[in-house]
Amino acid sequence: MSAATAVAMVAAELVHQTALGFAVAFTPDKARVGRMRRITAAHLRLWRVPGPTAENIVLAVSELVANAIEHGCGDIELTVLYSCGEVRVEVTDGNPAPAKLTVADDEDVSGRGLFLVAVLAQDWGVSADGRSTWCVFGVPTRRS
């Protein structure tokens, strides 16, 4: 299945699930990390997610997409849904080996991404088939 077909299929499904959500499928390329951050940030602004929470969500998107590009197989899909006071981020790739939380040494230049997600998110996990890594953020309500 091509990335465009996958986006169309997921977009059709999202219309029935929630009015606040998007899905993007793309080929693995390091330049996509910044683009996914920008797309996510734009949606979070439209949904009026408060600044500090939005910044944490964008950082999680960046880390999960970068992990999928580095360790995944085939096309990658980013899905972000906002419902019932929560934003759920899910990144899927073709690698059945699940993402694992590691502890990086002080001298390591990488290996902290999933740790950041675990610290910032309300919850996180990996799908049963190992192909998707997700995280959830509570969104504080705005006072009038």
**What is the pTM for the complete model shown?**
0.81
Contact 89, 60 (CB under 8 A): yes
Q: Using alpha carbons, select from 54, 110, 66, 59 the residue that is nearest to residue 91.
A: 66
Encoded tokens for 114: 């999933």
- 76-118 tens-digit pLDDT: 999 999 999 999 999 999 998 888 766 656 665 555 578 889 9
* H helix intervals, the chain: 3-17, 31-46, 51-71, 113-120
| Structure confidence by residue, pLDDT tens digits, 31-90 | 999 999 999 999 999 999 999 999 999 999 999 999 999 998 999 999 999 999 999 999
